[in-house]
Chains A and B, each alone.
Chain A
Amino acid sequence: MSASLSVRVASIETITPVIKQFTLASTGTPLPPFSPGSHIVVTLPIRERMCRNAYSLLGDPADNGLYHIAVRRQDASRGGSRYLHEEVKVGDRLTVSSPANLFLPSWEARHHLLIAGGIGMTPFMSYLHEFRRRGVSYELHCAFRDSATGDYRAWLEQQAGQRLYCYESERPDFTRLLAEKPLGTHVYVCGPDAMLQAVIAAARDLGWGSGRVHYEAFAGPQPGRPFVARLARSGGEIAVEGESSLLEALEAYGVEVPNLCRGGVCGQCRTVVVEGQVEHRDSFLDDSEKQRHRAIMPCVSRAQSDTLILDL
């Protein structure tokens, strides 16, 4: 688990009506350096509960001193992005985790094929700084749901020039895109789950080895039905509200569960279920594990039954 850092909101920029960029500065000792593709987890005190959301660092990894994150307002979600958009002001203090990286470029690639859906471009923004320094071969394909991407698009055009391909209404033809690439190309995709699955399937059908396919979902926990989590070993009982993830509720109760991605991908928070039916929302457990209901990824998954008994 990463150590937590106290940061000050140094500036807030409105990129589009739904995207704001937050620049975070240290409040004492310099912020730890990071590698391209890293993210931080931001702790947001929403009313009495703590909401923790992961955001990619989009700045230059060689820059010491500041973290930049882009936050897309998600009105249908649990309130973390709305809180950042509406409540957080310049000068406010926030608690964030040390940077963690689950989406590092594979430097042995001969060519890097980057595919982003909407705000999924943010991890690639940190890639581009490092790609330029190392002079590697790459291309970036960005699909936008709306054309309102403002300054980011201009910045990408300036950085990537001819290597940037934008798609506004149509979806890129992933099979054609991948089929044209020489052996030694690695593909990276960050975007909505449907896009990830389409790229992974296209790569598999074309016979790409899994080591050449990299992806990061930006799906955080979604709200759901309230339920009760009972702790078999320590004997506690926790009411998990609809807006809280199980992991957040455990943390608020003082139970430490190792975690990194908080998006159901990395596998760190896997917890054994003693009794109850799980509503699985992760992409870590395989189908047979999901059917057995003996394990849960509490960062995103919830309960189908009213009560879930955990081996904690």
Chain B
Amino acid sequence: MHLAPRDTQAFRGNFTYRNSRKAIERFPFPFPEDDYRYSVNIEPHRLPGPKGSVYEHMLDIDEHYLSETAERDMVLMQDPGRCLAMPHMEPACWDLVEFVMSCYAKDYPEHFSFERQGDECLWENRPLKIQQRFRFGDPASLPLPPMEYIGRQMQGDFALLDQRHGDLFMDAGVITSPADWSLAFDAGMSFKQWHGPVPLAHEMGVFERALKYLCAIQAGGPVRRLNWTMTIHPRMDSSPETYHEWGRDRTTITPDNVGKDVFLRVELQTLVRMPRSHALFFGIRTYLISLDDLVTNQVWARRLHRVLKGLPQALVDYKGLSRYRGTLVEWLSQYDDDVEPREYSSIGSTT
């Protein structure tokens, strides 16, 4: 796999982020139908997935690995609060070290290697030019605390959820590319507490069912789901902490810049039981695609038009699309010749 240069302007400043043809083809388009409705859309993360797809390996790495790790460094330098590990999560942090190093080394042997004899470990991350000997379980043998050490070398965010009393708690993680949520704000919250702002789903009982399901996930049975929103510019760090830097961008969308400036933002969320601590790894791997790139796929263009047109207002507001949904739907309509298909005429505020 080709790993692009360590580009520190990719996700900020003059936004040099670009997707190759290959990245566009493997983009995890999240809509299986013409309308979007809530569901507990979780499925087993069966490995290996289709070759070349984002589901092929446990943890996906692509051409943006170096740019994303560079972006992560910058965010953490400006705001160390994006990394959090409560003291009782120490065993889970070591589980994470072993999990990530083993997966990366097994799935991308040309870039990573991990050797372990008893507790003596040797880790090599060739793209980032890191070679590190350490003693497993001994924090003094690493230059950073264990979760932060490996977290800075990962493409994508993650949280480590502690499980107790049949509930999950946001007690550790490294979150530098959140879709408008804050680890520092959610720290220590229970599953339902951190999902508090999500509209409609509480009444539907989605969180009760999801929580039961997640608590029953066992080692060796990882699961995944896709989540989505939209972002103006390829800005990874759309956090509440930096809202003053990006919030106003939502007011700048015109018919002329929709294709270039509006990005569909998809999260491949993976849930994996950490075997020794029984914590739940919650991986959030974010993929961004400009609408200009997205509409090169006619099926996607047509479907996105229908989904956005029929999206209930509460979800439009929650996802932060209120200011520009009209412009977006109008622009996308040129890719959808079927004006009023019957399947979605009954939902939402389309008429």
Contact = CB atoms under 8 A, between A and B. Distances in A.
Interface string B157-190: 0000001110000000000000000000000000
A34 B216 contact: no
Given A2-B221, A3-B221, A211-B165, A35 B216 contact: no
Contact of B219 (A1, A98, A107, A108): A98
Contact of A260 (B216, B220, B276, B278): B216
Nearest to A266: B216
A61 interface: yes
Interface string A1-43: 1110000000000000000000000000000111100000000
Interface string A52-79: 0000000001100000000000000000
Interface string B46-74: 00000000000000000000000000000
Interface in A262-290: 266-268
Given A32-B275, A35-B277, A108 B88 contact: yes
B164 A100 contact: no
A1 B165 CA distance: 21
Interface centre among B88, B163, B221 (most CB of A within 10 A): B221
Contacts of A3: 220-221
A107 B276 CA distance: 13
B229 interface: no
A106 interface: yes
B278 A98 contact: no
Contact of B88 (A1, A99, A104, A107): A107
Interface string B207-230: 000001000101111000000000
Say what secondary structure dominates the interface of chain A: loop
Given A107-B88, A108-B88, A100 B219 contact: yes
B163 to A, nearest CB: 7
Contacts of B276: 33-35, 61-62
B219 A2 contact: yes
Nearest to A61: B276
B221 A101 contact: no
B220 A32 contact: yes
B278 A35 contact: yes
Contacts of A106: 164-165
Contact of A32 (B88, B212, B219): B219
A101 B164 CA distance: 12
Interface in B226-277: 275-277
Contacts of A211: 164-165
A268 B278 contact: no
A32 B278 CA distance: 13
A59 to B, nearest CB: 13
Nearest to A35: B278
Contacts of B275: 32-35, 99
Contacts of B218: 2, 98-101, 260
A104 B163 CA distance: 9
B218 to A, nearest CB: 4
A298 B212 CA distance: 19
A1 B213 CA distance: 11
A3 B218 CA distance: 9
A108 B164 contact: yes
A213 to B, nearest CB: 11
B86 to A, nearest CB: 11
Interface of B: 88, 163-165, 212, 216, 218-221, 275-278
Interface of A: 1-3, 32-35, 61-62, 98-101, 104, 106-108, 211, 260, 266-268
Interchain residue pairs A-B with the least CB separation, the first 9: A98-B220, A33-B275, A100-B218, A35-B278, A3-B220, A211-B165, A104-B278, A2-B218, A33-B276
